[in-house]
Amino acid sequence: MSQATIPTHSWAGQIQYPDTHLAPKNPTDWIVYELVARPSLNIYFGAPGSKKSMLMMDMMTCVATGTPFLKPEYPDPKVITFPTQQVKCLWADFDQGNILVSRRLEAFEREYGVDASSKMIGSISMPYPPWSAVSAAEVKSLADWLAYEGIGMLFLDALSGISGGKDENSSEMLPIMHNLHYLAERANLAVGLIHHSRKESGVKSRLGEKMRGFSGIEAAIDTAFSIENDGSEYVYVYPAKARSDRLRPFTARFWFEHHPGLDKYGNPIRDLKVARFYGEEPPRSIADLDDIVVEYLEDSAPDKCTVAQIEIHVSSVVTVGKNKLRDTLNKLWLNGDIKKDVGSHNRHLYYV
């Protein structure tokens, strides 16, 4: 009598039951408090030149040294600073090249006092043979090696460099994102993906839609942060998807010094000697509308301002509709926070 064939599947042995669900669990393992947990898959996206890679190198160096991320240059209770848990970190570069990565990390490491003998922070640039997240076997192999090395935080720069040529605007990205999540879970590490934002379309949308590529990329990650820069030393970070509902936008200020002296052609050396980001007061939001209006009128005193003048200023600070602004002006007037006159053509004039 032939024995019946017992069906099997790759899912066999992976099912969890209530004895696992109900077992005691440790609290969320924050590497950067309320910003980056372990394990997790995270994306930091922005336009070219937004300093997103530089900011993440600063974060990684802070984690490797156990230094709070984005400490202000001078004590300021309004600045958001993030405590860190010291873990071993690795920057995997598929975009910039070894010389640039090494010079940038050198500047951050020198500023944060990293010793040359330290093994808490490392980098690999353009690894050979080429690696991508397309192959599940390659991802599993990397995860096991990272776990063996004790890596707790890994940055992959950039997502496009590890996608094996797949179209990032299509569902071809779904298996790749699945593999990257598996990498984070199997190796118990925080994976940070450096990515790009879409070109500006002029259409206002939620932050997550600014991320370049297929919508499934955003769906597959734990956190996403939009990183913006206006050409100044200030970098603005906006949570597009976050684990903590208390997380708010925050601001960083880039500080650096070049190596002194001249190169062999007699030109000033432009390579970084030291670099870091300081925490700064966070950007204004619609919640600050009352203060923005009152501060503008105080700065304009003794002049009286029309609604149009107020709108121009407020719009340069925060996005707000005309009806919302008029309601705010009326509320402030009724509360006695600002005053109102009627000028020519029955236009309302506001002042303090």
What domains lie within the chain, and their CATH numbers? 27-280 (3.40.50.300), 286-351 (1.10.10.10)
Pick the range with the lowest mean pLDDT from 61-75, 141-155, 271-285: 271-285
The pTM (predicted TM-score) of the whole model is: 0.81
Q: The sheet that has 121-125: what strands, in order across it?
A: 121-125, 88-93, 151-157, 190-196, 40-46, 223-229, 234-241, 250-258, 272-280
**pLDDT computed for residue 245 by the predictor:** 72
Least confident piece of the model among 131-140, 147-156, 193-202? 193-202
pLDDT at 217 over 70: yes
Q: Say which amino acid occupies 105.
A: L
Q: How much is the pLDDT for 201?
A: 54
| The pLDDT of residue 147 | 98
Residue 204 in this model has a pLDDT that exceeds 60: no
Q: Enumerate long-range contacts of 205-211, CB under 8 Å, 24 or more apart.
A: 206/240, 207/238, 207/239, 207/240, 208/240, 208/241, 210/45, 210/240, 211/43, 211/45, 211/240
Pairing mode, strands 339-342 and 348-351: antiparallel
Taking only the tens place, the pLDDT of each residue in 222-260 is: 999 999 988 889 999 989 998 777 778 899 999 999 999
Residues 6+ apart with CB under 8 A from 298: 352
Q: Map residue 183 onto helix, strand or coil.
A: helix
Q: How far is CA 279 from CA 58, 71, 250, 286, in A?
A: 12, 5, 8, 21
Report DSSP letters for 304-319, one per residue.
Answer: -EEHHHHHHHHHHHS-
Q: Does residue 26 have a pLDDT over 60?
A: yes
CB of 155 closer than 8 Å to CB of 91? yes
**pLDDT exceeds cutoff 60 at 203:** no
Residue 168's pLDDT band (boundaries 50, 70, 90)? very high
Tell me how crowded residue 75 is: count the other CB atoms within 10 A of its CB: 7
* Interval 53-58 mean pLDDT: 98
What does DSSP assign to residue 131?
Answer: -
Q: What is the pLDDT of residue 1?
A: 46
Q: What's the chain's average pLDDT?
A: 92
**pLDDT for the residue numbered 10:** 87
| Position 2 confidence tier, pLDDT thresholds 50, 70, 90 | low
More confident residue, 330 or 204: 330
